[in-house]
Every structure is written in C-alpha cells, then in structure tokens.
Amino acid sequence: MENFTPGSALTGGVLIGLSTVLLMGLVGRIAGISGIVNGLLWPAADWAGWRLAFLIGLIAGPVAWRTAGGFVPPVEITAQLPVLLAGGLLVGAGTVLGSGCTSGHGVCGLARLSPRSLVSTLIFMAVGIVTVFVIRHVIGD
C-alpha cells in the first residue's frame, strides 16, 4: 500500500458524497455518470444545463486539486487503441445491461439501500476482479 493517501481519499469521498446529495436535493436526480452522459448525447425534453455543469465539475475537480498543490499521480496508458475501444464499448454495453454504472449503483443506489444496486455493484466488482485475473495471469500482461 505504498500509494495509500488517506487525506486525499477522504477529501474525494466527502466531495463525491456532497455532490451526489446536492444533485439529488437540488435537481432530484441520481448522480449516475452514464445516465448524465447519455442525456447529453441524446437530449430529451428534461435536458438541463446541470448535466454539462456536473461533467465539467468532474474534469475541473482534479485540475483545481492540482492547482492547489495536491498530488495527481501520472496516468500511463499502455494498451493499444483497439483494446481501449473494445473496453469502452464493453463498459457501455454493461451500463445498458445493468441499467446504470458504478457511480449510480455503487454510490447512490447503495446509499438508498437499493437491493438492485447491491446486486449490480457485486456483479461489477466480480467481473472486474475476474477480468484483472484473466488479463494478468491467463493472457499475460
């Protein structure tokens, strides 16, 4: 656990919780990122600027943290473009099949004690664990 940073983890967790509570309280919507992005890609009658503001906040948060002197670890992507595209499509298909993503089910759904969200989050985690195992130990990374 050489990269464990409890201060930034706690701060991030508090900010995620605060943003989901504010979104639910002020807009009446669950902070599921896949649903928010979907509403931007295919705007419906209930489209509002809050979707764009929320996504801008997701991007601006790490930038503000870095500007304030916080540490942001470097990101190194070693996978080839076809693998990244396939992964993105699989994640998109999974959010459709699961009726939401990890943020909607794992953060908001579990906080609302939703049984469906508990099952979805357990499936997300299990598939992630199996995927990492297969890639690292079967296919070889």
The pLDDT confidence band at residue 85, using thresholds 50, 70 and 90, is very high
The pLDDT confidence band at residue 103, using thresholds 50, 70 and 90, is confident
Q: How far apart are CA 128 and CA 122, in angstroms?
A: 10
CA distances from 66 to 1, 9, 16, 60, 92 (A): 22, 14, 17, 10, 29
The pLDDT confidence band at residue 1, using thresholds 50, 70 and 90, is low
Does the predicted TM-score (pTM) go above 0.75? no
What integer pLDDT is reported at residue 47 of this predicted model? 66
- pLDDT at residue 7 tops 70: yes
Residue 117: exposure state from Cβ atoms within 10 A (0-12, 13-18, ≥19):
buried
| 126-130: long-range pairs with CB below 8 Å, 24+ | 127/94
- pLDDT at residue 16 tops 80: yes
The pLDDT confidence band at residue 46, using thresholds 50, 70 and 90, is low
Phi, psi of 106 (to 5 degrees): -70, -40
Q: How far apart are CA 37 and CA 141, in angstroms?
A: 31
